[in-house]
Structure 1
Amino acid sequence: MRTSPAIWLAACLLQANLVFSDLVGFGLHPFKIYCASACQWALQAYPLECSEKIPKGFLGWATTSSECKANDTAWLTTLAWCLHVKCRAHRMSELQAFWETDATRDMTNFGNTGTPVPPKWSYEESLQQITEPPRKMPVDTTTVLNFTALVPEIEYQAQLNTALGVTKEQETGAEYGVIILVTGFGIPIILTWLYHLPFTSGLLSKITPYLTQPSSIGTYSVRSLPFLLGNAPTIGQAAYIAVFFIINIVLMSVNYQSMQPHLYYPGESMEIKAYIFYRTGIAAYALLPLLILFASRNNVLLLWLTNWSHATYLLLHRWVARLFVLHALVHSFLALPIFLPQQAVVDSDYWAWGVAATVLCVAILFASVLPLRRWSYEIFLVTHVVLSVILVVGLWYHVVLWIGLDSYGYETWIYAACAVWFFDRAARVGKVLKNGVRRSKVTDLGNGYIRVDIPRASFANDGPGLHVYAYFPTLSLWRPWENHPFSIVPTSLMSRVERQRPEQSSGSSSPTAKESGVHINVHDVEKHHGFKDTASASLETGITLLIKKSMGITKHLKATDGLLTLMDGPYHNTSTREIRHCDRLLLIGGGIGITSLLPWIASHPNIKLFWSVKESARCLVEEVQGVLSEIEKDVRIGRRLDISRLLEQEAEVGYCNIGVVVSGPGGLCDDVRAAVAAVGKKGSTCFELDVDAYSW
């Protein structure tokens, strides 16, 4: 039973609320009271009577433990007086709460870290120890603080500006990171739901031929661009990419505020550069969950709540990855002038992990180019996963060694990304275990075409538009984990028998078929090849895969009975709702693409199949002709289809909505996409297009 999308959305929003509560500015607040923290930090530089006998500690400050502060009269009275003067706007209870949790912290980084020790006096008791207002300030940071002192105003203001400036920028960065993440997965959901509103569906149908169907670069989409530069997005996909990039650029460019004097970044220019450095780093971390989500097979949030295909999300995954690298590079390049002069920073472990993470993300980007994917997809996949895992580890140590946990919430983005990744992997394992171990029958059809029958698949009759990732572990001892996606056909559908009429014995077309308008153009296949008798086929529920041998594990397939098979799936190629509701359904296939089209035969009452195959694929036509015996079809062996003409003829009939499902080589899919967009612009017939391509 399928869970309601509304329930999934509510669950996701609830989980998002829990995740965001661990981000700075949402549920995490490094400084409870800014004025109190400024007082505390301004005093941190001065040694106490009980301080360790080390001239200079972290950042040149005296090394003073929490135990020392908790029992030192001068520290407690000086801090209490500073809070009394600078924090008049806060209630006594708020200041007492700060006192109990932060007054004696051993601060070893920016932000109140370390474990406090209860001070010997409360805040109010410490004030009572002061008999008259202090008038003396420490001369410099070598002065031992053994009296109740005034905090130097310039030191206090610099500390306050630093705390306010850095923390406010972290809060803004976290807020913008949430906007980037929510916008990334929210736009597909909103656009899908707008399509179903009564007052927008008609308008969206009219703009579909101009926006979502045509390619943004010529007719390239499934086919790669010249020189293997990648795949061109459709105009709709390009619009999403452009909007998402613009949102990121705008959010990285606005709402900066300089606060001088500043302890870390003297000068307004240096301070603003530092804030851009912070914000781009946060944006990169915020993109990480979205990056993994778009690449996931079990993308429950988006594949269930939208009508966008997994292929679309994979394309967007690549563009989000480029944006991720862009943020990382800006973050890294800005870090150089800010921190290179500080040798202690450059020699630190967190700096080394940051450099490693930047190098890794660039390496992953270049290792994912189309030529490499075509040369060896398996090598690409293994290196992609391994390098990505190392990258996440590097990002983790980069922030943990710098700021620690629970300071600004950087680790929250990594938790979210890991949760998405582990959910996807666990779901894959769960589906494999649910489907169980199968023993498949492999039949060699000839000329490199293979039929694989997998018994007892519970999802065999769940409808069209499904595929599984099949594992054949015994075919390759070196890569038993290798798997590939295959469209599925119910074995019961493949077991249909075409009963020849007496008048067909000579191989001529049946008068009944001609009268019904069915056109069969298969170069008289029936004269030379009798239909296979499948009456003795098993009636148990199962699925059939029709495979053309290629690179990878499929080249090892050969006729056998009892091949060990594991299945991860099923998965939906895309939403079939709009296609099912069309008045007419056209199935257009090329070669082995017929596999994903066959399940549609039993899913719509008004279907016509157009199928073009090479002469070498005649064996494939013979294998499925029993399935095609009762539908309207145009099957051509050795000849191409005139896509534009056949679409125009169907539109002239006067259908309001025509669904087009195409599966096959990239050239065919791109031709159909271009033709559907062109014909859709001319007349009143609306076309729904579903491209199920096999490509890289």
Structure 2
Amino acid sequence: MKSIWLSQLVPVITLFHTVCVRGDGKGMIGFGITMYDPPCAHACRNVIKSCRLSCTPEDTTANHGTSHQPIATPAKCFTTDPTFLRTMALCIDTYCPISDDPSLDVIHDFWASHLGPGTVGDYSNVPTASYEDALQAARGDETRLKNNGSMQHREGHHRRLKVRHGGHGEEEEDSTGDIGILDVSSSLPIIEGGDPLNVTSFIDPEEWRVWYNGLVNFEENEIGHVQYSLIITLVAILLPILIAAFTWIPGLTRSRPWLYVQTRLVYPAIFKGYHRVPVAGEIQPNRGQALFIILLSILNIIFLVAPYIIRQPQHNFPSRDEQELSIIGNRSGVLAMGNAVALFLFATRNNPLLYLTGWSHGTYLLLHRWLGYWTLFHTVLHSVMLLAYYKTYGTYSKEIVREYWIWGIVATVAAVAILPTSLLAVRQRFYEIFLASHVVLSLIFLIGYYYHIWFCYQHRWGYEIWAYIAGGVWGTDRVIRLCMVAIRRKRTAVISFVPDTDNEYLRIDVEGVSVADGTVYLYFPSLGWRFWENHPFTTALAAQSDDEAPATVDEKTGTATATASSTSTSSSSSPMRHTTTFFARTRTGMTSSLSARVLKSESARLSILMEGPYKHSGAASKLSHCSSILCIAGGIGITAQLPYLRHVPSDVPTKLYWSTRKAGLVNAIAPALQKLPSNVEVETLVSARVDIDAILEKELSIGVDAYSGTLGIVVCGPPEMADRVRQKSVQIAQDIANKRDFVLVDEVFSW
């Protein structure tokens, strides 16, 4: 068990540490990566990066910047042009002491790594002059002009700096953190963005100010995007572990307060008792699942609308409305991937949380769907908000032909297309189409997102890490699954109808293999062209003799399916021959195709592949402290009950109530029932329903048959039966003073 979740967890951890991110650090913005360090120096460079230098190529179409901020000057030109170096040094010495006040080491690092490339640090282009040499030369130019009487006077300023070089000047900061009006002067000519830079110049204080505000504010909000997305991811992944940790407290799960919480906040359905019976075309969560979903939804809503930091005036966004439209669009894009990471993890069959929390695979699949809704919402909102932004404030006609925009549309369309192909009606009626489209569209979404980031930022800011983690989780799960299939190797299955069931049930005997308890997925590549199709079967029996073929149950769409394992010998001297037997109810899709094969003859032989076994229900840990067990099964759901019944301790009184419409199924399962432990009482009904209300009233009463302690209730059968057991047991338990504690296990697999 540990090896399974560790094999899933290790690659994910490795991705966090080994993914190479170009930029100022490794990781994500605010968590290992800094965008503008120090902002004052980056603001200086941004003012004059568009100025034409003496070494700037003439009539060139090459872009040495970004798609949104193109630069005609190559990096080497910036690091070798003496005028640019002097102007930059003077600007840093003027504005940094009155804003960020960075240390000299920070300035030296900026000088060595950012003068050429700009935003992203790169030490390959070393400046031809040091910061101190360039500053000394700029001061010399300034002094000579001043002595020659060429000092330029600036008017309309409110104050002057007390200290210019090497000290701290005064600064004003408004309620948004904006640095106030700066009164600085120089004998050098004032340079503004876009002007030719031919002589050592002084950067206009207002231009520097709006650039500084824009850079600081942009990084503040980008840190927020990452921070809040990480919170959603970590809450979704770690909260189940925290909740499960309460069950490790000795005696807590046997206490009355625990029963009170379970019967009022966890077990009840949220809508008129319907949980497994679909409402509004979809399976609804119970209260416990709903509370988890509500928490994640509240976090998604809060982090989408706030908090944001607004600084005005600034260069990036001339107006508050423009800035809000952009940052909300950007926030929603990052939140989409925060949800997507947990979404991909919850869908995997090798999800380590299954073993850490004891939650069922069905629960994680339900949460997977709700995380999918939020991922889709944020993805669409991101596209709509930025479409509106570029339509209103930007250059929409230029953006739509850029590669980052095209790949963003690809990811958005894929996310939208997943929704209709994942509806319950499609999942149940066209399972094969759902499975194939879900995998393909999910991969297109990830690929589209990755290239959207690559063409927009390359590997500057770590946003591609979201795709690495989600893709790594998905890929690791697939590799483990392939290894499981390879270990089992190709097998031959004999398929036939169960006698006296009007061809409603199939028997699948897999030769040469014995499967332990757990869920197994079967592939039928020789059945048709849908080679990827696979269906889950849960183990029902251990070793059986050849004349006592085990029984299992198909749980493709919410009606449980099970597998059974058997070993047989033809004589006492012959070697042991293993056979694993599955029972499946004929429905649409794969079982319908198998039935058609069998109708042509009494049986059919097909090549199959096996994946598993998994232990996904979490039932064993929930039932471990129960003093007695009550199993209620309907139809082929009986085979999902047998694993618990075979292994119940001899001192735990256990009862099984099973109803089915087909006597032939009873005959097929009878040998397994006869070999159950002696403390298991079995009552079988044919063409009659189990009186759920009367049974629960009796079994949940304190003192019945001298029972005491916690009752484990396991139900597996039609959705109506399962919902009635849930509703009635919760209703009875409301009278805590006179009723027993209980644990409810709804054994079901459902997409």
Query: TM above 0.5, one fold?
Result: yes
Say which SS state the counterpart of residue 231 (structure 1) adopts.
coil
Say which SS state the counterpart of residue 241 (structure 2) adopts.
helix
Say which SS state the counterpart of residue 22 (structure 1) adopts.
strand
Task: Confirm or deny: 8 A CA contact 1:467 1:571 kept in the other structure.
Answer: yes
- C-alpha separation in 1, matches of 2:116 and 2:10: 43
Equivalent residue for 2:726?
Answer: 673
> Deviation at 1:271?
1.4
- C-alpha separation in 2, matches of 1:193 and 1:588: 29
> Deviation at 1:264?
2.1
Q: 1:193 aligns with which of 231, 237, 245?
A: 245
Equivalent residue for 1:598?
Answer: 642
Alignment deviations for residues 227-271 of structure 1 (CA, whole Å, 9 cap, x no partner): xx2011101111111111001111222221111122221112221
Equivalent residue for 1:609?
Answer: 656
In the alignment, is residue 569 of structure 1 matched against residue 612 of structure 2? yes
> Deviation at 1:580?
2.9
> Deviation at 1:480?
2.6
- C-alpha separation in 2, matches of 1:393 and 1:10: 23
C-alpha distance 694-293 of structure 1, shift in aligned 2 (>3 A): closer
- C-alpha separation in 1, matches of 2:88 and 2:357: 57
Q: 2:80 aligns with which of 62, 71, 83?
A: 71
- C-alpha separation in 1, matches of 2:60 and 2:93: 30
- C-alpha separation in 2, matches of 1:495 and 1:74: 92
Equivalent residue for 2:583?
Answer: 546
- C-alpha separation in 2, matches of 1:632 and 1:135: 101
> Deviation at 1:45?
2.1
C-alpha distance 10-210 of structure 1, shift in aligned 2 (>3 A): farther
Give the counterpart letter for 1:30 in structure 2: M
Structure 1 range deviating more: 42-51 or 432-441 = 432-441
Give the counterpart letter for 1:285 in structure 2: M
Within 5 Å, give how 1:415-434 maps onto structure 2. Answer: 415-434=468-487
- C-alpha separation in 2, matches of 1:157 and 1:380: 54
> Deviation at 1:344?
2.3
Alignment deviations for residues 597-651 of structure 1 (CA, whole Å, 9 cap, x no partner): 122222113221100101xx21110011122235411100000011111011112
Give the counterpart letter for 1:25 in structure 2: G
Structure 1 range deviating more: 20-29 or 391-400 = 20-29
In the alignment, is residue 129 of structure 1 matched against residue 137 of structure 2? yes
Q: 1:36 aligns with which of 11, 34, 41?
A: 41
Within 5 Å, give how 1:283-432 maps onto structure 2. Answer: 283-300=335-352, 302-340=353-391, 341-342=394-395, 343-405=397-459, 407-432=460-485
- C-alpha separation in 2, matches of 1:138 and 1:336: 37
> Deviation at 1:656?
1.6
Report the TM-score when normalising by structure 1: 0.87
In the alignment, is residue 482 of structure 1 matched against residue 538 of structure 2? no
Task: Confirm or deny: 8 A CA contact 1:39 1:151 kept in the other structure.
Answer: yes
Give the counterpart letter for 1:98 in structure 2: F
> Deviation at 1:315?
0.8
Give the counterpart letter for 1:685 in structure 2: R
- C-alpha separation in 2, matches of 1:17 and 1:61: 32
Alignment deviations for residues 106-130 of structure 1 (CA, whole Å, 9 cap, x no partner): x5xxx33778522211112212323
- C-alpha separation in 2, matches of 1:472 and 1:375: 18
- C-alpha separation in 1, matches of 2:444 and 2:300: 26
Alignment deviations for residues 405-463 of structure 1 (CA, whole Å, 9 cap, x no partner): 1x221100000000110011011101111222223344431322222233454642x4x
Say which SS state the counterpart of residue 23 (structure 1) adopts.
strand
> Deviation at 1:372?
1.9
In the alignment, is residue 454 of structure 1 matched against residue 506 of structure 2? no
Alignment deviations for residues 102-155 of structure 1 (CA, whole Å, 9 cap, x no partner): 1122x5xxx337785222111122123231535234455453211111111111
- C-alpha separation in 2, matches of 1:71 and 1:8: 50
Structure 1 range deviating more: 535-544 or 329-338 = 535-544
Structure 1 range deviating more: 635-644 or 88-97 = 88-97
In the alignment, is residue 687 of structure 1 matched against residue 738 of structure 2? no
Alignment deviations for residues 187-212 of structure 1 (CA, whole Å, 9 cap, x no partner): 11111111222374322233211122
Give the counterpart letter for 1:597 in structure 2: Q
Task: Confirm or deny: 8 A CA contact 1:497 1:535 kept in the other structure.
Answer: no
Question: Number of paired residues?
Answer: 646
Within 5 Å, give how 1:612-691 maps onto structure 2. Answer: 612-614=659-661, 617-629=662-674, 631-652=680-701, 653=704, 654-682=707-735, 683-691=738-746
Say which SS state the counterpart of residue 70 (structure 1) adopts.
helix
Equivalent residue for 1:207?
Answer: 261
Say which SS state the counterpart of residue 746 (structure 2) adopts.
strand
Equivalent residue for 2:493?
Answer: 440
Within 5 Å, give how 1:197-236 maps onto structure 2. Answer: 197-198=249-250, 200-201=252-253, 202=255, 203-226=257-280, 229-236=281-288
C-alpha distance 624-458 of structure 1, shift in aligned 2 (>3 A): closer
Structure 1 range deviating more: 288-297 or 266-275 = 266-275
Structure 1 range deviating more: 277-286 or 347-356 = 347-356
C-alpha distance 540-674 of structure 1, shift in aligned 2 (>3 A): farther
- C-alpha separation in 2, matches of 1:485 and 1:410: 36
- C-alpha separation in 2, matches of 1:193 and 1:126: 61
- C-alpha separation in 2, matches of 1:161 and 1:320: 36
Q: Give the aligned CA root-mean-square deviation in angstroms.
A: 2.7
Give the counterpart letter for 2:660 in structure 1: V
- C-alpha separation in 2, matches of 1:187 and 1:132: 63
- C-alpha separation in 2, matches of 1:142 and 1:175: 36
Equivalent residue for 2:161?
Answer: none
C-alpha distance 124-179 of structure 1, shift in aligned 2 (>3 A): same
Equivalent residue for 2:202?
Answer: 150
Alignment deviations for residues 458-501 of structure 1 (CA, whole Å, 9 cap, x no partner): 642x4xxx211012222x23123321111223352576879xxx
> Deviation at 1:320?
0.5
Task: Confirm or deny: 8 A CA contact 1:644 1:679 kept in the other structure.
Answer: no
Q: Gaps (5+ residues) in structure 1?
A: 499-533
Structure 1 range deviating more: 370-379 or 534-543 = 534-543
In the alignment, is residue 101 of structure 1 matched against residue 109 of structure 2? no
Structure 1 range deviating more: 571-580 or 139-148 = 139-148
Give the counterpart letter for 2:293 in structure 1: I
Say which SS state the counterpart of residue 336 (structure 1) adopts.
helix
- C-alpha separation in 2, matches of 1:662 and 1:9: 32
- C-alpha separation in 1, matches of 2:542 and 2:580: 5
Give the counterpart letter for 1:412 in structure 2: I
> Deviation at 1:303?
0.4
> Deviation at 1:70?
2.1
C-alpha distance 645-536 of structure 1, shift in aligned 2 (>3 A): farther
> Deviation at 1:90?
2.3
- C-alpha separation in 1, matches of 2:4 and 2:190: 67
In the alignment, is residue 81 of structure 1 matched against residue 90 of structure 2? yes
- C-alpha separation in 2, matches of 1:451 and 1:224: 29
C-alpha distance 658-456 of structure 1, shift in aligned 2 (>3 A): farther
Equivalent residue for 1:160?
Answer: 212
Give the counterpart letter for 2:746 in structure 1: V
C-alpha distance 497-472 of structure 1, shift in aligned 2 (>3 A): closer
> Deviation at 1:297?
1.0
- C-alpha separation in 1, matches of 2:4 and 2:363: 23
Equivalent residue for 1:267?
Answer: 319
C-alpha distance 369-9 of structure 1, shift in aligned 2 (>3 A): closer
Alignment deviations for residues 489-516 of structure 1 (CA, whole Å, 9 cap, x no partner): 3352576879xxxxxxxxxxxxxxxxxx
